[in-house]
Amino acid sequence: MTKVATFSKNKRNKVLDKEQLLSDFRLAMESRHASLMGRKEVFMGKAKFGIFGDGKELAQIAMARYFNNGDFRAGYYRDQTFMFAIGQLTIREYFAQLYAHTSVEAEPASAGRLMNGHFATRSLNDDGTWKNLSEMKNSSADISPTAGQMPKLLGLAYASKLYRENQGLKEFTQFSNGGNEVAWGTIGNASTSEGMFFEAINAAGVLQVPMIVSVWDDGYGISVPNEYHTTKGSISELLKGLQRNDDQKGYEVFVVKGWDYEALDRAYENAARIAREEHVPVLIHVVEVTQPQGHSTSGSHERYKSKERLEWEQEYDCLAQFRKFLIKKEIATAEELDQIDQEAKAFAKKEKDAAWQLFSSEIKNELKEAVSLIKEVAAKSQQSQLLESIADELSKTLNPIRKDVISSVRRALWILRTEPESIKSDLKSWYTIQQELNEDRYSSHLYSQSEFSSAKIEAVDVEYDDEAPLVDGREVLQACFDNLLETDPRFLAFGEDVGKIGDVNQAFAGLQAKYGEHRVTDTSIREVTIIGQGIGAALRGLRPMAEIQYLDYIHYALMTLSDDLACLHYRTKGGQKAPLIVRTRGHRLEGVWHAGSPIGMLLHSLRGMLICVPRNMTQAAGMYNTLMHSDEPALVIECLNGYRLKEKMPANIGEYRLPLGKPEVLREGNDLTIVTYGSMCRIIEDAAVELAQMGIDIEIIDVQTLLPFDVDHSIVESIKKTNRVLFADEDVPGGASAYMMQKVVEEQKAYYHLDSEPATLAAKAHRPAYSSDGDYFSKPSVEDVVEKVYSMMHEVNPNKFPAI
Ligand SMILES: Cc1ncc(C[n+]2csc(CCOP(=O)(O)OP(=O)(O)O)c2C)c(N)n1
Ligand SMILES: [Mg+2]
User: What angle in degrees, to the nearest 10, is found between the helix axes of 680-693 and 782-796?
Assistant: 50
The CA 287 to ligand 1 mean position distance, Å, reads 17
Encode pLDDT of 312-352 as tens digits. 999 999 999 999 999 999 999 999 999 999 999 999 999 99
The CA 217 to ligand 2 mean position distance, Å, reads 5
The CA 731 to ligand 2 mean position distance, Å, reads 41
What is the rounded average pLDDT for all residues in the chain?
96
Encode pLDDT of 788-800 as tens digits. 999 999 999 999 9
Closest CA to 154 of 488, 515, 564: 564
- The C-alpha atoms of residue 181 and residue 179 are separated, in whole angstroms, by 5
> Is the pLDDT confidence value at 156 over 80?
yes
Encode pLDDT of 611-669 as tens digits. 999 999 999 999 999 999 999 999 999 999 999 999 999 999 999 999 999 999 999 99
3-state secondary structure of 30: helix
Atom of ligand 1 at shortest range from CA of 147: 1
Annotate 450-473 with DSSP letters as a single string.
STT-GGGSPPB-----TTPPEEEH
Ligand 1 pocket, residues with Cβ under 6 angstroms: 78, 144-146, 188-191, 216, 218, 220-222, 295
> Is the pLDDT confidence value at 473 over 70?
yes
What is the amino acid identity at position 206?
A: V
- The C-alpha atoms of residue 727 and residue 760 are separated, in whole angstroms, by 5
Q: What average pLDDT score do residues 188-205 get?
A: 98
| Contacts by 686-693, CB closer than 8 A, 24 or more apart | 686/782, 687/782, 687/785, 687/786, 687/789, 690/782, 690/786, 691/786, 691/789, 691/790
594 is known as an active-site residue = yes
**Ligand 1, atom 18: nearest CA belongs to which residue?**
188
Catalytic residue among 594, 629, 753, 794: 594
Distance of CA 656 to the CA centre of its chain: 29
Asked if 640 contacts 684 with a C-beta cutoff of 8 angstroms, the reply is no
Asked if 216 contacts 185 with a C-beta cutoff of 8 angstroms, the reply is no
Atom of ligand 1 at shortest range from CA of 194: 1
Least distant ligand from the CA of 186: 1
* pLDDT of res. 61: 98
Least distant ligand from the CA of 51: 1
Q: What average pLDDT score do residues 130-145 get?
A: 98
The conformation of residue 187, written as its DSSP 8-state character, comes to E
Radius of gyration of the chain (CA): 30
Helices (H) and strands (E) in the chain, counts: 28, 22
- Return the best residue to mutate from 115, 222, 224, 226 for the ligand 1 pocket (most ligand atoms within 8 A of CB): 222
Our CA dihedral for 691, 693, 696, 702, rounded to 10 degrees, sits at: 40
Q: How many other CB atoms are found less than 10 A from the CB of residue 333?
A: 11
Least distant ligand from the CA of 78: 1
**Ligand 1, atom 11: nearest CA belongs to which residue?**
221
The percent of residues in the chain predicted with pLDDT above 90, rounded, is 97
> Is the pLDDT confidence value at 298 over 90?
no
- Return the best residue to mutate from 191, 217, 298 for the ligand 1 pocket (most ligand atoms within 8 A of CB): 191
Atom of ligand 1 at shortest range from CA of 188: 15
The CA 792 to ligand 1 mean position distance, Å, reads 53
Encode pLDDT of 659-711 as tens digits. 999 999 999 999 999 999 999 999 999 999 999 999 999 999 999 999 999 99
The CA 292 to ligand 2 mean position distance, Å, reads 12
The CA 225 to ligand 1 mean position distance, Å, reads 12
Taking ligand 2, which is a single-atom ion, which protein residues have CB atoms under 5 Å away?
188-190, 218, 220
- The C-alpha atoms of residue 647 and residue 478 are separated, in whole angstroms, by 13
> Is the pLDDT confidence value at 12 over 60?
no
* pLDDT of res. 16: 59
- The C-alpha atoms of residue 267 and residue 254 are separated, in whole angstroms, by 7
3-state secondary structure of 215: strand
- Residue 440 sits at the vertex; the CA angle it makes with 434 and 445, to the nearest 5 degrees, is 170
For the whole model, what pTM was predicted?
A: 0.97
**Ligand 1, atom 20: nearest CA belongs to which residue?**
221
* pLDDT of res. 299: 81
Encode pLDDT of 712-762 as tens digits. 999 999 999 999 999 999 999 999 999 999 999 999 999 999 999 999 999
> Is the pLDDT confidence value at 154 over 90?
yes
